[in-house]
Amino acid sequence: MHIDLGGRTALVTGSGAGIGQAIARGLHEAGATVVVHDLSSERVEQSIAELGGGERLRGVAADAGSAAGCEALIEQVPDVDVLVNNVGFGKMDPVWEIADADWELIFQVNVMSGVRLSRHYLPRMVERGWGRAVFVASEAGIHIPREMVHYGMSKAAVMAVARGFAESIQGDGVTVNSVLPGPTRTAATETILQRLVDDGVLAGATTVDEAAAQLLASPGWQSSLINRWMRPEEVAHIVVYLSSEQASATTGSAVRVDGGVVRSVH
């Protein structure tokens, strides 16, 4: 199967690093013109350089976690063929200690960014008769981690939002799906792992690799069938497929790329 996204323009939010950058790379390699987005212009420029630069890479910096930031992003990028709602963050906090402001912030960034951008771009895709929207959720939206309840809440909401938009665009040509990565090694997750090591949260773990192995063996993740963390490009492969013509009959789905962590057949 050869995926050709030549002539298509894709916006990948939060593509300054990690999974988002891997998705941007995959779409670019498939021929798309890719808009790299992040919070700061420095991260955008660095990501474009790491992706190799060139005419088919553009950059935009904006705070997608706010209404004003989404408006600024849309003003700079008024139309796209492929929208990947990837921007998001998470951190580990006891549920009793999560302040109202933290609940609100994670919802605004992880959920409302995709709502606001989809509300703008999807109707334009429908008018043209072709388009793809992919929301990056997480297996944490199914298996809510007790140390990241606010994150799990947001990712469950992302899946619901993606399905809701798909239900509202019944017909051929435009699809909306979510993808559910499992535990993935990125710079962001390594920062969290280092914090766990520094704080002594994981008994006996003195390095990031030891912390990663210990978490993978914990009750929440011990059902991984590949017995390792995911790589960002493995998530990107699924997103590139869902962004292609070949995925024309896949819509309203939550597609798992979690290494088998979720113990379910549906």
Count of residues making up the chain: 266
Report the candidate in 237, 240, 246 with the shortest Cα–Cα distance to residue 27: 240
Among residues 45, 12, 14, the alpha carbon closest in space to that of 27 is found at 12
Local structure of residue 228 (DSSP, 8 states): S
DSSP string for 250-262 = --S-EEEESTT-S
Q: Which helix or strand (DSSP H or E) is residue 67 part of?
A: helix 67-76
Q: What sign for the dihedral angle of Cα 191, 197, 203, 207?
A: positive
- 76 forms beta bridges with none
Instruction: Report CA-CA distances (Å) from 155 to 65, 97, 108, 109.
Output: 15, 20, 12, 11
Which 3 state secondary structure label does DSSP give 178?
strand
- Structural contact between residues 84 and 12, judged by C-beta atoms closer than 8 angstroms: yes
Angle 51-55-56 from CA coordinates, rounded to 5°: 65
Catalytic status, residue 121: no
Provide the 8-state DSSP code for 230: B
Calpha distance 101→74 (Å, rounded): 26
**Beta strand 33-38 pairing with 9-12:** parallel
Which amino acid is it at 254?
A: A
Which of 86, 140, 148, 151 is catalytic? The answer is 151
Q: Return the active site residues.
A: 151
